[in-house]
Amino acid sequence: MNAPKKQQIIKAKAHEFVLPLIRDGLVIGRDAPIGCVALRKALDLLTAFPFEHLEIEDDIIQDVLVRQALLRRIPRDRLLAFVLRNIKPAMGAEEIMQLEISVEMFIEESGE
């Protein structure tokens, strides 16, 4: 009786580690394993972009951390409403969701 042949295969995918890890924001669940204070400290150390803390009174989402530059293009209330309407249904209270947000501005000015 022949012993079965054993084969080991190792596969890896490597790519450049790019900072910042967070592009535009984080939505932090109420029961997430790491809280807003710790995430803010990490973002302050890892990125040159300032992030703003937005608190939410909700049963799933506790906090949103968003790049301050985005809040110059979209009002805070509109962003929070967007998160509650579109992100909240896709997440659990124990999760942290990363945001990549695209805001387009259309400006029209008429001359006098």
Type and span of the H or E element at 96? strand 96-99
The answer to the question of residue 86 being in a domain is: yes
Q: Which residues pair with 96 in a beta bridge?
A: 28
Instruction: Note whether residue 90 is domain-resident.
Output: yes
Q: What's the structural domain count of the chain? A: 1
Percentage helix, strand, coil for the chain under 3-state DSSP, each rounded to 5: 25, 20, 55
Q: Are 88 and 59 in contact (CB under 8 A)?
A: no
Least confident of 19-23, 61-65, 67-71, 97-101: 19-23
Does a structural domain hold residue 70? yes
Residue 20 has pLDDT above 70, yes or no: no
Answer yes or no: is 107 within a domain.
no
- pLDDT attached to residue 17: 65
CA Rg, the chain, in Å?
Answer: 21
